Structure 1
Amino acid sequence: MSKTWKIYILALLSFLVGTSEFIIAGILDKISSSMDISLVAAGQLITVFSLVYAVGTPIIMALTSGWDRRKLLLYALGLFVIANGLAFVMPGFGLFVSARVLMALGAGVVVVTSLSIAAMIAPQGRQASAIATVIMGFTASLIVGVPLGRMVAASYDWKMVFGGIGALGLVAIIVIALTIPSLQGEAAIPLRKQLALLKNPKIAMALSVSFFWLGGYSIAYTYISPYLLTITGMGEKTLSTALFAFGIASLIGSKLGGYSTDRWGVKRTLTSGMLLHVITLILLTLAAHSSSVVFPLLILWSFAAWSSGPTQQYNLVTLAPESSGIMLSLNSSVMQLAMAAGAGVGGVVVGQISLASVTWIGAIGVGIAMVLTILSFRRSSVGSKATAESSVEPLQRA
């Protein structure tokens, strides 16, 4: 089998894992109803998953840094399959939460190890493209996995989604065992060295932008299904279509965000994307009861939200080009923490205010990210100007 096909297999694996993470938002109302729990309690399934993913993955990767990558991927995938099997068969909310914890641990290691293997087996000079292909699989789970999961949950029991993911995971174990070669692990980067980057004010502020941007998004997205069904009054078929359109818009937004960054720069792309993000969330609040208006606004929201993704990744890498791998790892953890915090805040909003309020509360979070972005670039420009003036002064004296 060619190296290209092996990378596509890793991308499909990333798609499977991504679906297991994002699907909860698509079937939140069904989980709430069948388990006789509140929407707020069901929403915390996303908080738990993201929190365990963010904290557990770096620790496991550090402890297993010397392991053969193929062996680590198979073990992590095995844990992921077992967790999905438990989610499928175990009754009760508490046991389902336990299954989600195991699922998050397996998923995080699968994604990071898949990215590592893709870079190792890619032809020379094509490593970045290989990594992008695997990431695209994760993104595709939002486009196809979530609406497909919603359709399965609508036609059968929602637990069938996890049974299906577990079965496909078993197939993936066999395929990985037969196709991926043994690859020696690399030396781990000490956690102290990773955290040392946070002492840089520019990097700390940039990571704060990631946190508030995705946190604000998560406040609204976590409750998107009950919001559209209850507040907007969408039917089941329309909801599945809306989720599919939402996913397509995220892909287009991500692509155009990267293009805009190359053409017009990071500052303009980030600020304009976040401004549009805030505006669409506010408009969703105002037009919440009109499905004909909400549908195009959903597409615009997804487009605006994900246009910031590649731009922010690039922005972080340029802040510390000599530590790009560490920066992307830190950003990945921050984004998962943001998803957890957003789901948690969203739960408080639904419980204490109303389900209809998640959009404008989310807009506040994204608005904070936009302000931090403007301040960070203003600080950078002031610093650059001061450096230039200090270098010119000795020349004038001479």
Structure 2
Amino acid sequence: MKLKIFVLTTATFTAGLIELIIGGVLPSIAQDLNVSLSTAGQLITIFALVYAVSGPAMLALTAKIERKRLYLWTMLIFTIGSLLAFWSPNYETLFISRIINAVSGSLIVTLSLTIAVKIVPENFRARVIGIISMGVSLSIVLGVPLGVLTQEFFGWRILFLIIALLTLMSMVTIQFFLGRIPSEQTVPLKTQLQSLKSAKIISAHLVTVLALAGHYTMYAYFTPFLKSMLHLDTYWISAAYFVFGLSAVSGALIGGILSDKIGTAKSILIIISTFIVVLFILPVSTISLYMFTIAMILWGILSWAISPAQQSYLIQHAPASSDIQQSFTFSAIQIGIAIGSVLGGLVINRAESISTNAWAGGALMCVALLCAVYSLSRQGFYLAAKQTQSS
């Protein structure tokens, strides 16, 4: 079982790498392709939007296909998209490659998660969600800082060639170490969407959207923030991404353990409330590198701690549609990333200082907290249905 979880985590690492690595090299892409920084930022936005839409749709459309075969074909398409990005002679081609990678990447991550929660005991679900999320977090730890350094010497394009090679290696790993996984019963997308009629469930997904939007309003433009506010060079920027990534990895695990120990409701409220404080003090902390490092570590931990708590919460309150709720969660994450990257670009264009991005993100987190309180105070449709049946 541990080997299977490792294989699934490896797949999410590869898929997460191509989305996250681009944030560290946005200035280089903008300069090379002769576009503005905010226009380059839309490469993050389009990836997130396509990912959000394709996740649930692809899960429904591919339900009858044996999972291992689906994995391998999806990763092959993912490799093609990565090679297209490596070759891209202009912004438009790179834009298309992002769409290809978003569709295939969404299915890779969703398959990893839905399979993982079915092969562990119920009391370890939140923890294994955290472990799978660590696959994406590890792409921050290793991919983003190494990507920043690599592009300094070889250019940003080589990063996509490396990703293509890593994906091929992951395919070999899956072929040899992951057994045949039966297809699942097809659930029509219309039926899946009915779960969103619950105010408790839809507001829970809004928490994820707003939390990630608040996070990415700042994180999508972390490189220019570090250059502007702390005047860091390439090596120190790479070090900052590495520390942030380590914090994110631990945050995914901490979020899962915290949810298992004190419950999802308390975990969500604690994580979001702390996130608000950290985002508002982040620009102020730049007066000292030591203060900023502490604030950045907390920011990194919180950025991934929310995911296991949210997904475990949805599994508890919508067990009949748990698979699609997990897919919706990843869609909500991507919608939040899209909103945050767009908002961050608008703030950069209009504000006098990039520090305003952190405060704008903090404001979105405040709205996320209100949505969390609302969701926690609502009776779920699952509980209501059980009460109706018992009466």
Is the TM value for this pair above 0.5? yes
Q: Measure how far apart 1:143 and its partner are.
A: 2.2
Separation (CA, whole Å) in 1 of partners of 2:307 and 2:337: 14
Describe the shift of the 1:376–1:361 C-alpha distance in structure 2 as closer, same or farther (beyond 3 A). Answer: same
* Aligned counterpart for 1:157 among listed residues 131, 137, 155: 155
- Tell me what 1:187 maps to: 185
Q: Is the Cα contact below 8 Å between 2:199 and 2:378 reproduced in 1?
A: no
- Tell me what 1:234 maps to: 232
- Tell me what 2:82 maps to: 84
Q: Is the Cα contact below 8 Å between 1:209 and 1:370 reproduced in 2?
A: yes
Of 252-261 and 359-368, more deviation after overlay is shown by 252-261
Matching residue's letter, 1:283: I
Separation (CA, whole Å) in 1 of partners of 2:287 and 2:30: 22
Q: Measure how far apart 1:380 and its partner are.
A: 5.7
Q: Is the Cα contact below 8 Å between 2:55 and 2:327 reproduced in 1?
A: no
Aligned CA RMSD, in angstroms, stands at 2.7
Higher-Rg structure is 1
Q: Measure how far apart 1:67 and its partner are.
A: 1.6
Q: Is the Cα contact below 8 Å between 2:56 and 2:328 reproduced in 1?
A: no
Cα deviation code 1:193-239 (max 9, x no counterpart): 22111111111211111111111111111111111112321222111
* Aligned counterpart for 1:325 among listed residues 313, 323, 326: 323
Q: Is the Cα contact below 8 Å between 1:62 and 1:188 reproduced in 2?
A: yes
Alignment of 1:144-223 (within 5 A): 144-223=142-221
Q: Measure how far apart 1:353 and its partner are.
A: 2.2
* Aligned counterpart for 1:101 among listed residues 99, 102, 112: 99
User: Unaligned 5+ residue runs, structure 1?
Assistant: 389-398
Separation (CA, whole Å) in 2 of partners of 1:74 and 1:126: 30
* Aligned counterpart for 2:253 among listed residues 252, 255, 259: 255
Of 39-48 and 132-141, more deviation after overlay is shown by 132-141
Aligned length: 380
Q: Is the Cα contact below 8 Å between 2:251 and 2:300 reproduced in 1?
A: yes
Describe the shift of the 1:6–1:280 C-alpha distance in structure 2 as closer, same or farther (beyond 3 A). Answer: closer
Separation (CA, whole Å) in 1 of partners of 2:167 and 2:305: 31
Q: Is the Cα contact below 8 Å between 1:17 and 1:107 reproduced in 2?
A: yes
Q: Measure how far apart 1:315 and its partner are.
A: 1.9
- Tell me what 2:223 maps to: 225
Q: Measure how far apart 1:45 and its partner are.
A: 0.8
Q: Is the Cα contact below 8 Å between 1:249 and 1:299 reproduced in 2?
A: yes
- Tell me what 1:74 maps to: 72
- Tell me what 1:57 maps to: 55
Separation (CA, whole Å) in 1 of partners of 2:112 and 2:265: 31
Describe the shift of the 1:378–1:134 C-alpha distance in structure 2 as closer, same or farther (beyond 3 A). Answer: closer
- Tell me what 1:307 maps to: 305
Q: Measure how far apart 1:246 and its partner are.
A: 0.8
Q: Is the Cα contact below 8 Å between 2:123 and 2:260 reproduced in 1?
A: no
Q: Is the Cα contact below 8 Å between 1:273 and 1:305 reproduced in 2?
A: no
Describe the shift of the 1:364–1:83 C-alpha distance in structure 2 as closer, same or farther (beyond 3 A). Answer: same
Separation (CA, whole Å) in 2 of partners of 1:252 and 1:172: 23
Of 238-247 and 300-309, more deviation after overlay is shown by 300-309
User: Unaligned 5+ residue runs, structure 2?
Assistant: none
Q: Is the Cα contact below 8 Å between 2:114 and 2:323 reproduced in 1?
A: no
Separation (CA, whole Å) in 2 of partners of 1:360 and 1:33: 27
Matching residue's letter, 1:372: C
Q: Is the Cα contact below 8 Å between 2:130 and 2:255 reproduced in 1?
A: no
Q: Measure how far apart 1:177 and its partner are.
A: 3.5
Separation (CA, whole Å) in 2 of partners of 1:279 and 1:106: 36
Describe the shift of the 1:191–1:33 C-alpha distance in structure 2 as closer, same or farther (beyond 3 A). Answer: same
Describe the shift of the 1:127–1:302 C-alpha distance in structure 2 as closer, same or farther (beyond 3 A). Answer: closer
Of 127-136 and 33-42, more deviation after overlay is shown by 127-136
Cα deviation code 1:321-377 (max 9, x no counterpart): 333223222212111111111111111111222433111100011111112223333
Q: Is the Cα contact below 8 Å between 1:234 and 1:291 reproduced in 2?
A: no
Separation (CA, whole Å) in 2 of partners of 1:61 and 1:162: 26
Cα deviation code 1:150-180 (max 9, x no counterpart): 2222232111111111122223334433444
- Tell me what 1:347 maps to: 345
- Tell me what 2:280 maps to: 282
